[in-house]
Chain A
Amino acid sequence: MSELKVPTMAEMMASEQNPDVLFWVGCAGSFDDRAKKITRALVKILNNVGVNFAVLGSEESCTGDPAKRAGNEFLFQMQAMGNIQVLNGYEIKKIVTTCPHCFNTLKNEYPELGGNYEVLHHSEFLQNLINEGKLTIQGGAFKGQKITFHDPCYLGRANDVYEAPRVLIEKLDAELVEMKRCKTNGFCCGAGGGQMFKEAEKGNKEVNIERTEEAIELKPDIIATGCPFCMTMMTDGVKLKDKETEIKIFDLAELIAKANDL
């Protein structure tokens, strides 16, 4: 395994360097075993392209998103104010993150509290790298594979990012197939609004099963997504449906890292 170069802001500061972009890893990206692979995949791409980035490391803390969606505005604003102090202290201008929940909160809810940054989801960031000619994707590994993209609610409907993920998938020379409920009509994985962290209310089905069934109907080789929580829900769904040998679930960053053999 190649060494990952992951400078922290503190190290950058100490050596009087300034990164072009801060990679906001997020709690899932830092601690969830499956999401950590997404984090590593993105870092591999950033290292490979030579992007001058840094992370906050132990100075990063939850954006407060789950607290806010669950109704705990106090805790959210406490977290936000703490993070803004750190971010502003480092004079951060641009942030990229692999988590649509962090993305939404940093981009939309922090400015009013004094945190103004250009915030990008990694799908947008990678698309920009491609547009600037810094990143090229070798399609070979996924040529002809059937890939469906599950729109994360906080990326799609919440922030109208529908195209960037699809552009990336198309660059893989893969066959992009859409679920019936996609883009503005995308169907939730069941994790948002604090549901990730608690049992669902009484019903006749789990939300992630409903969504996984829809994806399985297309008989895809891969379900792609761009959110660590969607990743968990879809992975669980596919396992419960006994399809984990036929259908793999990958984040966009992982697809690109694999395609480029990183």
Chain B
Amino acid sequence: MISSIIFIALVIAASALFAKNVKTIIRNIKLGKDIDRSDRKKERYLLMAKVALGQSKMVVRPVAGLLHIIVYAGFIIINIEVLEIVLDGIFGTHRLFSFLGSFYYGLIASFEVLALLVLVSCLIFLIRRNVLRLKRFSGVEMTSWPRSDANYILITEVLLMSAFLIMNAADSSLQNLNSFHYTQVGSFPISGLFVSSLSSISESGLIMLERSLWWFHIVGIFAFLNYLPYSKHFHILLAFPNVFYSKLEPKGQFENMAAVKKEVALMFDPAADPYAAPVEPQGEPLRFGAKDVTDLTWKQLMDSYTCTECGRCTSVCPANITGKLLSPRKIMMDTRDRLVEVGNGIDKNGKDFNDGKSLIRDYITEEEILACTSCNACTEACPVNNDPLSVIIDLRRYLIMEESKAPSEWTGIFTNIENNGAPWQFAQADRLKWKDE
């Protein structure tokens, strides 16, 4: 009875805290500018089914892809067990669903196999990161927190799965002892293998072991749930909406800025009065391109929270491969870190707070932004359809159009295009000379 009350209080507290943190993240994402991604719904659902649910872009790298699918499937399927655990906790029952009979036995058996597979996969992931030290997991942006974050997630999963299996072994021993409360639920294919090693423990000892692991497992899950909003691991939730709201246009198509369209239309309008006072829109002053995270769209901000720092983007980036500073993963991580900073600032100081910092320069340097070849290798590689390239271009737009800070060669091509319709200094009248050469 008391344990039920404690358990219910825990469920409520964990859910409330999680909801609060999720709300903050949603609020932060909504600090972004509006962009309409509500069209072509059917296509979007199909894309989500393929890329997020079906992990189609993960398997481009077969080893990591396969291991990830195991952990992902394990996570989803073992959650059915978590449902039972929660209900057991609330009602003080044990293995509530065991009335399902042989179907339940099969389910438990498959959870065990999955748990072992997840355990092994996480161990391999840990080895890849910490022993083999794959290049993909290093880089300037992979400072101590991102590295620890990844390890915390993997270690937690290893601990949770181990607790789950040892708990089942204790349960199994108790079933063999015909202990009261511990109903027979068939054989345990994995934990059954080391039941004998628990044979020296008394019945009360086994009950204590089983109970404490049960609590460890479920408290661990609640703790992990509340770790998510602070971690790159939040991708397990955001991957779905993030893929749903993907850019559906061809990758080469960059958005035509609406604000510029108005200005250009005026220039092409013979009836426009060149001396008329410019009509400034009410409210916030117009800014071309992105100086800070609030100049980006909500989708770009969602991208940043969805990024799980896998580094596939950076590992295929031609600029990064040839030693330049640019790393698309860093662009995503910087965007998120700055957004969190802005969000925290708003929480502390109110909506209009200004810390005088910005995404450009305080986080991302001009050198990084200028190194991009816009080749779309990063967007192609991203398993959750993030678009770091769009952020780079928006930052460039700010540099060029607001600060006129272009490298001198670019200033040259701009002048040439403007004056003679080509990036080089050739006369437009000579465009057909090749015909007679």
- Where the two chains meet, the residues of A that have a C-beta atom closer than 8 Å to any C-beta of B are 4, 6, 8, 25, 27, 29-32, 36, 39-40, 43, 55-58, 60-62, 64, 66-75, 77-81, 85, 104, 107-109, 112-113, 153-154, 157-160, 184-188, 190-207, 209-211
Contact = CB atoms under 8 A, between A and B. Distances in A.
A55 B414 contact: no
B376 A158 contact: yes
Given A40-B434, A193-B373, A70 B410 contact: yes
B207 interface: no
A204 B319 CA distance: 10
Interface string B421-437: 11110101111111101
Contacts of B268: 81, 85
A210 B423 contact: no
A38 B263 CA distance: 37
B373 A66 contact: no
B351 interface: no
B374 A69 contact: yes
24 contacts: A30-B426, A43-B435, A66-B413, A66-B417, A67-B414, A70-B414, A73-B257, A77-B257, A104-B250, A109-B256, A153-B374, A153-B376, A157-B376, A157-B380, A184-B380, A185-B380, A188-B373, A195-B373, A197-B412, A197-B413, A201-B367, A207-B321, A207-B322, A211-B318
Contact of B414 (A4, A75, A209, A210): A75
B275 interface: no
B418 interface: yes
B422 A158 contact: no
A209 B318 CA distance: 11
A261 to B, nearest CB: 20
B417 A58 contact: no
Contact of A210 (B251, B318, B396, B433): B318
Nearest to A83: B421
Contact of B373 (A62, A71, A112, A191): A191
Given A197-B410, A210-B321, A6 B432 contact: yes
B253 A187 contact: no
A64 to B, nearest CB: 7
B181 to A, nearest CB: 56
Ordered nearest first, which 4 A-B pairs have the shortest CB separation?
Answer: A158-B252, A71-B396, A61-B421, A204-B323
Interface in B81-99: none
A194 B401 CA distance: 15
A209 B321 CA distance: 12
Contacts of B323: 202-205
Interface of B: 249-254, 256-257, 260-261, 263-265, 267-268, 288-289, 316, 318-319, 321-326, 367, 370-377, 380, 393, 396-401, 406-407, 409-410, 412-414, 417-418, 421-424, 426, 428-435, 437
Contacts of B426: 30-31
A51 B34 CA distance: 46
Contact of B393 (A56, A69, A195, A199): A69
A57 B432 contact: yes
Contacts of A108: 249-250, 252-253
A85 B267 CA distance: 13
Given A71-B400, A75-B414, 7 more contacts: A55-B432, A66-B413, A81-B265, A153-B374, A157-B375, A202-B324, A210-B321
Nearest to A199: B409
Contacts of A190: 318, 322, 373
Contact of A205 (B254, B322, B407, B424): B322
Given A27-B423, A67-B414, A74 B264 contact: yes
Nearest to A26: B422
Nearest to A5: B435
Contacts of B401: 71-74
A6 to B, nearest CB: 5
B304 to A, nearest CB: 20
A199 B407 CA distance: 9
A116 to B, nearest CB: 14
Nearest to B322: A205
A186 B376 CA distance: 10
A64 B434 contact: no
Contact of A207 (B370, B373, B374, B380): B373
Given A73-B257, A77-B260, A184-B380, A194 B318 contact: no
B289 A187 contact: no
A112 B373 CA distance: 24
A75 B400 CA distance: 11
A210 B322 contact: yes
Contact of A104 (B252, B260, B265): B252
Nearest to B288: A73
A170 B189 CA distance: 55
Nearest to B256: A112
A192 B373 contact: yes
B254 A66 contact: no
Nearest to B422: A27
A82 to B, nearest CB: 8
A118 to B, nearest CB: 15
B254 A68 contact: yes
A88 B291 CA distance: 36
A31 to B, nearest CB: 5
A187 B417 contact: no
A198 B373 CA distance: 11
Contact of A62 (B265, B374, B396, B421): B421
Contacts of A104: 250, 252-253
A80 B435 CA distance: 25
Contacts of B429: 58
A202 B322 CA distance: 9
B252 A25 contact: no
A81 B370 CA distance: 26
Nearest to B423: A66
B319 A203 contact: yes
Given A62-B423, A77-B260, A207-B319, A67 B417 contact: yes
